[in-house]
A and B are shown apart, each in its own frame.
Chain A
């Protein structure tokens, strides 16, 4: 396998997953913050008509549609970039991917529709439950993705027979220790990256029109959750590292240079996020700086976290068992380059659309959804 094909294949696959990871993180983070603030015990129906709720529900919808598209693309990329891997681990990948997809489709057909379009038609109790179910469903979707990812790091519940992995104990596959840890990490990242995004867009709004009281309360609540999640994540990583529970070795060498670079960048962004949050609470927040730093914090931290964790695999697709170079596509190099260019164009489009529409919703208000009422 030509090394250039391997590099181009990996770049396009990892970028797709990183972006998907970002948007699913933001979707879950927003679903959590909305559920905590508007579906809690003390919440009431009038809050659902507030502008804060409408704006953040809109941004949640935009993040979720982006995650949906990118999730689909991730499955396709997994198949076209690693076709031989599908042939080797189809027994494991198939059911896990299918579970994630069907849960999402069911969610999209039921609770998500109620949450996005049923505010007027559902009762407050039904609506509250729809929000909770969306949070649960999205977390489950993410969990199945994480289970597969963690299985490729520490294959459990399977054995290799005739060059193919076969499941011998599916409970062991679904309940891996590392998958639990990764899920907790993912959830924490979702909360603090979303808090960063929230801070950025709220700061941008304050440049054009002042924040309402309920908007400020929502932002404060999100930042408190974000800071707590940030601290807890730092403690978790330190605990895992000192107890040798990480499934990879932290080494400083040339192969892992990029990994270390993204690790340090993520750490830097954490510190910036903490600084911005503290500036907000002390009343010294500058809107332009907060927007320029806050939005990327939300968008970049999850991607960097994924790339960092993924690069620890080094040359392996499945740790210590299957090398990436052995399972990459043999498609012509020119096609891989063309594929990468097309994907990059799509990524730019999605990020542009998400940031522009979110900024528009916060500064100008929510545009009503275009619907077909009476068909001519």
Chain B
């Protein structure tokens, strides 16, 4: 850190140095929160068309206790990312027009359809359920396109189209995986068996997707390849891949056990394994990029606004964070409670 600060002509204690770092850490945590909590929401939305018709409405309703906090993650994350790194976003948003618009249209569609469905007469509920599914599809598709654009260095030409579509499918699989893990915790009987089947299909796609994105990132950017293959980094990189592989295998075994009707005790474990996988993915991307926000173009410190603007953002964060954290904790404390618990 001292060498980074010195290269910028700053001291590590200088707010102009540590404030961008802190903003990056908070943003990364919020991205992780969005991927996990909005992810299972999206996953359930993507799975609804495959669920037996008799369960669809109940499956959607079961999201209700977490829905109002789940939807705030994506809003807060996007707002913080744009407010904290406007100069990075300014340069890449041109390339992200369609992916971002699709993703956010999906988010809004899910939000509106969920609330409208909860307040509509029985005959209209199926209509809003369909809109929720479309919203989940658009969000996951947009998210996949954003990840693919990032991995290819925002080069969205015809040669990359196969890779882009593959990553989009894998991101949908990731949403399905976390959605299925959540359903395993919260449901019993037929739905649990179905969730195990969906999860075991999705886990292979997620593994393939994570590998493909890593390879593409390294191939498209020599600096990233160097970072991951440098002799000093081989042990941590090997550990990271080892942990990821273990998580994938563990998930696969777990799903198989449930499909064989040999239900294990710790039903929260697949969800936690998913969280570990997603956290490693976010950390990996962050490590690959650091200290850049746009690779080889804009560093973290070039991307942040002026010091006064950052102070204003921190002021808002300090005032509201306790309220938001308390609210989220009180809401998520029942996330791991056993199926059948009163919410």
- Chain A complexes with chain B: yes
A305-342 near B? 1/0 per residue, CB < 8 Å: 00000000000000000000000011100011011001
Residues of A within 8 A of B108 (CB): 69-70, 72-73, 346
B320 within 8 A of A: yes
How distant is B35 from chain A, measured CB to nearest CB, in Å? Answer: 18
How distant is A13 from chain B, measured CB to nearest CB, in Å? Answer: 11
How distant is A52 from chain B, measured CB to nearest CB, in Å? Answer: 17
A154 within 8 A of B: no
Name the CB-closest residue of B to A12: B101
Residues of A within 8 A of B116 (CB): 62, 65, 353, 357
Are B86 and A331 in contact, CB atoms less than 8 angstroms apart? no
Instruction: Among B93, B118, B125, find the residue whose CB has the most chain A CB atoms closer than 10 A.
Output: B93
On whether A80 and B101 interact (CB within 8 A), knowing A65-B111, A102-B320, the answer reads yes
How distant is A20 from chain B, measured CB to nearest CB, in Å? Answer: 11
B300-343 near A? 1/0 per residue, CB < 8 Å: 00000110110011001101100110010000000000011111
Partner of A110 from the list B69, B83, B316, B327 (CB cut-off 8 Å) is: B327
A101 vs B78: C-alpha distance when bound (angstroms)? 10
Residues of A within 8 A of B90 (CB): 83-84, 86-88, 90
Within 8 A of B (CB), among A71-119: 72-73, 75-77, 79-80, 83-84, 86-88, 90-95, 97-99, 101-103, 105-106, 108-110, 113
A77 vs B96: C-alpha distance when bound (angstroms)? 12
A370 vs B122: C-alpha distance when bound (angstroms)? 10
A131-170 near B? 1/0 per residue, CB < 8 Å: 0000000000000000000000000000000001011101
A193 vs B312: C-alpha distance when bound (angstroms)? 34
Are A80 and B93 in contact, CB atoms less than 8 angstroms apart? yes
Are A349 and B121 in contact, CB atoms less than 8 angstroms apart? no
Main secondary structure of the interface of A (DSSP, over half): helix
| Chain B contact patch, size range | 35 or more
Are A83 and B120 in contact, CB atoms less than 8 angstroms apart? no
Residues of B within 8 A of A350 (CB): 112
A77 vs B342: C-alpha distance when bound (angstroms)? 40
A41 within 8 A of B: no
Are B86 and A93 in contact, CB atoms less than 8 angstroms apart? yes
Are A329 and B72 in contact, CB atoms less than 8 angstroms apart? no
Name the CB-closest residue of B to A80: B97
Are A76 and B100 in contact, CB atoms less than 8 angstroms apart? yes
A186 vs B91: C-alpha distance when bound (angstroms)? 34
Residues of A within 8 A of B131 (CB): 349
Residue contacts A-B, CB under 8 angstroms, 20 given? A76-B104, A79-B93, A84-B94, A88-B90, A90-B89, A92-B309, A94-B84, A95-B313, A98-B316, A102-B76, A106-B320, A106-B324, A113-B68, A170-B308, A339-B97, A339-B98, A346-B108, A370-B119, A370-B125, A371-B64
Residues of B in contact with A (beta carbons under 8 Å apart): 58, 61-65, 68-69, 72, 75-76, 78-80, 82-84, 86-87, 89-98, 100-102, 104-105, 107-109, 111-112, 115-121, 124-125, 128, 131, 186-189, 191, 305-306, 308-309, 312-313, 316-317, 319-320, 323-324, 327, 339-343
Give the top 10 A-B pairs by smallest Cβ distance, nearest first.
A90-B86, A87-B90, A83-B93, A94-B83, A109-B327, A331-B97, A95-B312, A98-B83, A101-B79, A69-B108
